Structure formats: structure tokens, C-alpha cells
A and B are shown apart, each in its own frame.
Chain A
Amino acid sequence: MKVQPVSKDTDYFTCLGFPRRLTLDPKKLEAKFYELSRAFHPDFYQAKSPKEQTISLSNAAVLNTAYRTLRDPIQRAEYLLALESGSVKDIRTSPPADLFEEILELQDTLEQYRASDRESDEGQQLRKTLQTEKQTLDRRREEMESQLRQLFTGWDQLQDRGEATSQARAERDRILKQMRELLSHRTYINNIVNDLAATIAS
């Protein structure tokens, strides 16, 4: 049997043979990825026609992207959102409204710390403040992730029921909307935490 190209319309879930669910067993996902790699990898097409070699190369590239995207729960959710309701690039990172003031203040402290002498009393004090802030944000991120996991479960249950009622549709839209908002806030917090960690470590 000759190798066929993956269709342009094939989404990553279909490519790896999984339903559009947000909780996936990483072991099963890995096993499927390994199985398909054995089927598609260019290593096994050296003796085949140039055309088949090209197809196996692009299939393997698609498979690798699919696995990388679905392996990570956040990327998986972002990808599902893009599939269900338009481009994921439209998700703008934004700060959660209740943290707006706090984040502005934090940016100030970061600036002061960067300009300060790290060894001085002031520097040490600022550093302590930043560390406390980081812990707060870390906790906030964990809260968001736990909320996201609940939404993921909600989504999966909805899928499993497979209802087509208007109530189900409303529920679906609600979950997607909340997910989009949470993902946007989480990315924002995540960027700040990374920035904080890098500054404190430097």
C-alpha cells in the first residue's frame, strides 16, 4: 500500500485518532504517536519513489505538530477553541480585571528593582516583595488552571452526552467563552511570572 498525504482538512485530533476531548490520557497519546511515527517516518521510505518520500516527510511533520499541540493541555484547549470558534490568534492576552491595579504596581516594583543595587537594603527589600508577589501570582495561576480543568471536564461530558438541544448549545457556548477568557488571563499571568522569575534569578 502506498502512503497517502494527510488531508488538509484533517485536524490534529483526527490525525491522532482521538475525539475532540480535553482530557486525554498522555500514555495513550504517546503510544498512538509512536505507532503513527513508525508508519510515517521518512526513515522507512528511503527506497520508495521521490513522491512517496515527500509525502512521508510532510505527513511526519504534521504528525509531530499534532502531537506537540495535543500533548500540552493548554495548547490542546487553545487548539480546540480555534477549531470550534475561530482562530486562536484572536485570543488576546489580557489581565484579569481584579488584578489590574496590582499588576501595575508590580511593574513599578520590577522597574525599581532593575534600577536598584541588588546588594543594598533597598534591593533586598524589593526582591522580597517580588518573591511574595510571584507566590501570589503562582497561586492565582494554579487557581485558573484548576478552573480550566473543570471546564475541560464539563466540555467532555457535554460531548459524551451528544445532545443537540438549544440548552446544550447554550452550555457549549458558555464553556467556550469562559475557556477563552481564562486562557487569555492565564497566558498574561504566565508571562509576568516568567519575567519575574528571570529577573529574580539574574
Chain B
Amino acid sequence: MARIVGIDLGTTNSLIAYMKDGQPHVVPDRHGRAMVPSVVALTDNGLIVGDPAKEHLTRNPQRTVYSVKRFMGKGLADVEGELAYFPYTLTETGGVIRIRLGEKNYSPPQISAMILKELKLRAEAHLGESITKAVITVPAYFNDSQRQATKDAGLIAGLEVLRIINEPTAASLAYGLQKKTQGTIAVYDFGGGTFDISILKLKDGIFEVLATNGDTHLGGDDLDRVLVDLFVGEIRDRHGIDLSSYPDHMQAVRLEAERAKIRLSDEQKTEVSLDLPEDKGSFTRELTRDQLESLAMRVIERTLAPCRMALKDAGLTPQDIDEVVLVGGSTRMPLVRQRVEALFGKAPHCHLNPDEVVALGAAVQADILSGGTTDMLLLDVTPLSLGIETMGGVMSSLIRRNTTIPASAKEMFTTYVDGQTGVDIHILQGERELVKDNRSLARFRLKVPPLPAGVPRIEVTFLIDANGILNVTAKDMRTGESQSIEVRPSYGLSDTEVERMIEDSFKFAAEDISARKLIEARLDAEALIKTTEKSLAEAGHLIPTEEADGIRRALDQLSAANSGNDFRTIRATMAELEQAAKHLNVVMLDHSLKKGLQGKKVSDV
């Protein structure tokens, strides 16, 4: 079976990992960094992803997308309250948020697909083979639409997503593999944009999730925001400047807030320094850990209610938990650790790198699916109750939250009116009584043969698969015939739209590749220009003047080509320069050899 990789598609950073000799490893880049910032920027040379894109956050804020995970499977109304924090333009089409980049609108799965492609390329370069299959992680508390959006992102990136698995449970796999733990563990996963708590029982290689809870809109981003609000307020009071009308400065504030927060995990106080717009000087202030903690307290407190709820659903008390495992960058904050310790009454574990553990666990799950690891099995649960709309706008629950998946429920439908030919079904997810308080997932129309009222009997099966994604099938019990159902997602891309995006992505793949080649050619050309100039300065006097002039002309031509957009011209001009400088390089080598040999006797050589 072809290799399956594990991917942690994070709010702030993403990673890709693989299994080798029974151990998971993350894939590093040339510089040894495993994390790819989940940032996509539109530049004059096309779309770029990761570290280079992160540099555009302040340079080009309106065309640089970050934290796109917050928009997966969402409509515009869902994020209304935080629109002001994002410098790029958001719109909505067909219940799906669209992000404006230059002339085009992109859905969140398309942006996520660009990040996935970057990870895919990185793994292909590292492993020297093509990668087509993956396990991708999502927050445990992601609903059906958010999971489906993640799967769509994989498809658009050219990946067959064999499994969507929950981040805290992925972490438990990596953790369990290393420690061979038995007992009950709580995984507290506080990441860049989401919070999850999962309670698992580990026994003889079975990882059984007992309960999960969380908040898909609560993470390190929210901690940064309390600092952003503080700094922006103080700048307004002190300097009379409203930074919110300067998107580039707002991004600089956000990044500085994040850095200050990170520094305060190790230090008691830190200096915050920001340049103000229009040459108004700078803003500096000292920030202490105490100050950060008093502001962060209410954000961190919001993680505790889901923990208590998960314990209650698992039928356990804090004393029943044998170990607490910390996952996600935000768990580096000392205050988070204190609060977790106070709640569970024991010091949490953080042996594994909280940034990498989810990707490592995804690689373990990938290995289970490819038949490599056979002694471990994850039994996960659905985080939210699934139901349908019934009379009076009430939700009737079919599959309760924290039910082990795969899970199925059957429901029989009939007609109320003679000759009725369809029954409309509205599928919901959530814990509230009324339809309007829950999340609408999808609608579909059941086809019914025209018969007297109450005679048709259509059995509908709602099946939540091992990805936590809903599948619906229907069967006419009178004829025994199955009927195909076209489900219209409330907050998702339709199948045809996803197909079009996959096609687009293949069409643009050629463009993407040339963009990449251009960037690489430019870097190589710059390096060549630098070394040739150096040689010319050192050994230019040793070659004929016409030759040196020729090299200078070739250098100018390359500089000109390098500011163009065609990687072929750059490569061709590079070849010309190399040709022109061939003799110079020989002379240069000779010269330095002679310099090295000066004062030495032949017998010493």
C-alpha cells in the first residue's frame, strides 16, 4: 500500500509527518524547521505559502490570509463579531465564506488546500516519492460542516483523505505509543484557534474516547486579542492615533502581542515596542506576566467549563484521571498549566513537543490504516448530538453526543397527505432543544411514491462514519429499493463546486509550479551575481579588459532578467554569465592557489 502521511492542519502552524521503523517523524524544511506557518499571501509573483508568506502579514495585510481554519465550514454571520480583526475582505456565496485576494475569491478549503500542497511538496522532496494519501487532523469539537470542509481541502490539494481524526486523540496515539500508558487520561488541547478536551481510556492498545468537549473558537488568537485591544487603546489615549485604520500596523501589533505573550511564558516581564504610523515615533511599554495573566484569565477560564462537562459525560471525577496531557502551543503559558493542575489535582504532562504531537499522532493513525501498526486501535466519539427537525421547530435527537463512531440510527418516514410525493428532512447538530439554537447541517427531500397517507414506509439511515462525517441513505421498505439522496449542505461547498475547484487546482498547478520555479531561479541568480561580483573584484585585474567588460554586461543582463517574471529567461541569462565568467573563475582559482602556495617550497607541496 502506498505511503499515507499524517497532517496537522493548524490555525497558526501546520505540519506533516510520516512513520519510519515504528516511530513517527515530522518532515523538516531545508533549515530544519518542521512548522509551516498557516499563512497564504498573494504577491506580484503569485500565491506563496508559509514562512515567506508570513513576511507579507505586515507588508501586504489585505492580501495575506492567516487563521483561515476559523472560517472552515462557516458562513459570514458566524464570524460577524470578529470581522474587524481581519484585514482581508470576507464575503459569502452559497453559505460559504469567501476570501478576496486580488481579483479572485477563494473559499477557506481552497486556501487550506494551498497549505496542504506546500506540506505535500515538502514531504515529497524529503521522502523522494509522490504523496497522494493522507490522514488530516481536526479539532475534536469540529462539527460535520467543518470536517467536510477539511476533507474538501484535501481533495482540492490532490490528496485522498483516508481519515479525518481528532487532534486530542491523535495526540493520545503519539503519547500512548511512546509511554505504553494504561489507564484514564485527559488530553487538554489549547491551540492557536481552538480548544478541545478529550477523556480516554487506554487499555491493551485500545484508545477508547469516553467523552469530548470544546470550543472551536477559542485559542491563542483570543489571548493575542486581549493584548492587541490593550495596546491599541493605550496608543489611542497616549498618541491620539486610531491604529484600526492602518491594517499593516494592526498586523504588527498582533504579531508583537503574540511575541510578547510567548516571551512571558519564560520571563516575568518584557518590553513591547511598536512603530507608529506617519512618522509619529514609537510606542513602548513594559508588560509583566501578572498583567498578561489578569487579562488572559477570562479566556483561560472559558476552557474549564468544557473540561467539567466532559468529565460529567464520561461519568468521572477529576480524581479518576490518571494523567493529564497538554497539547497545543497555548499550553506553554504557566497560567494555563496552573489552572489545569488545579482542576484535575495533578501536574500535567508535557514530555512531547506540544507543537508536534498532533502531527506525530496523525502519522501513527496513517500507519494503522496502511496495516503497519496492528496492535493499536482508536475508538473515537461524535462530539455533538445529531438529529432532525420535527413538528414545532423542535430537534429530535437520533445520535447522542459522545456516542462511539461509527454510529448509526434508523428512522422510518411516511406521509400525512394522500398522494404526497416527497418528505423534506432537515438535519441538525447540537445540544439545544429548539431547531433555531442548533447548527443546521443539511436538507434533503425524500422521494415517496404517490400513495394514500401513511402507506409509504421509507427507512432513512443516518450513519456517522469513522471520520465523524454523516452519510445518509434511504430505503423504500415496501419495494426494498434503495434511493440515492442528494444532500444540500447548509454551510458547505456542493459536490460540483468541489469538483470545479479540483479542476481549477490542476489547471493552476502548472502556474503554481512556474511561480515556484521563478522564486527559485531568482534566488539562484542573486547568488550567482554575488559570487561573480566578488571574483571580479578580487581577480578582475588578471583578465583582459574586454573580457571583464563582457562579464559586466552579462551581469547587467542577468540583473535585468531577474526583475522580470520569466524563470526561463533568468536561467538562460545565468548560463550566459556562467559562460562569460568561466575563464575568470579559472584565473581566480589559480590566483588563490598561488596565493596559498606563496613562500612554500615545491618539496612541501
Contacts and interface: CB of A to CB of B under 8 A. Distances in A.
A126 to B, nearest CB: 25
Contacts of B465: 42, 57
A62 B403 CA distance: 12
Given A34-B206, A58-B408, A46 B162 contact: yes
A62 B370 CA distance: 24
A44 B365 CA distance: 11
A61 B406 contact: yes
Contacts of B162: 46
B182 to A, nearest CB: 13
Contacts of A67: 404
Nearest to B376: A43
B463 A64 contact: no
B377 interface: yes
A68 B403 contact: yes
A61 B463 contact: yes
A42 B204 contact: no
Interface string B393-410: 000000000011111100
Contact of A37 (B374, B379, B407): B379
Interface string B542-573: 00000000000000000000000000000000
B407 A57 contact: no
Interface residues of B, number: 24
Nearest to A30: B203
A46 B407 contact: no
B537 to A, nearest CB: 61
Contacts of A41: 377, 379, 466
B1 interface: yes
A161 B204 CA distance: 37
B463 A57 contact: yes
A198 interface: no
A15 B510 CA distance: 54
A175 to B, nearest CB: 28
Nearest to B467: A42
Given A42-B406, A68-B403, A57 B466 contact: yes
Interface in B201-217: 203-204, 206, 208
Interface in A27-78: 34, 37-38, 41-44, 46-47, 57-58, 60-62, 64-65, 67-68
A37 B463 contact: no
A36 to B, nearest CB: 11
Contact of B377 (A38, A46, A47, A61): A38
A43 B463 contact: no
A37 B209 CA distance: 14
B18 to A, nearest CB: 16
Interface string B286-306: 000000000000000000000
Contacts of B32: none
A85 B408 CA distance: 24
Interface string A16-28: 0000000000000
B466 A42 contact: yes
B377 A64 contact: no
Contacts of A38: 206, 377
A46 B365 CA distance: 12
A178 B407 CA distance: 32
Interface in B351-397: 368-371, 374, 377-379
Contacts of B208: 34
A60 B406 contact: yes
Contacts of A57: 406, 463, 465-466
A41 B404 CA distance: 12
A77 B203 CA distance: 28
Interface string A137-157: 000000000000000000000
A65 B461 CA distance: 14
17 contacts: A34-B203, A37-B379, A41-B466, A42-B406, A43-B377, A44-B371, A44-B374, A46-B162, A46-B369, A47-B1, A57-B406, A57-B465, A57-B466, A61-B463, A62-B408, A64-B403, A67-B404
Interface of A: 34, 37-38, 41-44, 46-47, 57-58, 60-62, 64-65, 67-68
Interface of B: 1, 162-163, 203-204, 206, 208, 368-371, 374, 377-379, 403-408, 463, 465-466
The 6 closest A-B pairs by CB, nearest first: A61-B408, A61-B406, A64-B404, A46-B369, A60-B406, A34-B206
Given A47-B371, A61-B408, 12 more contacts: A37-B377, A41-B466, A43-B466, A46-B1, A57-B463, A60-B406, A60-B466, A61-B407, A64-B406, A64-B407, A65-B408, A68-B403
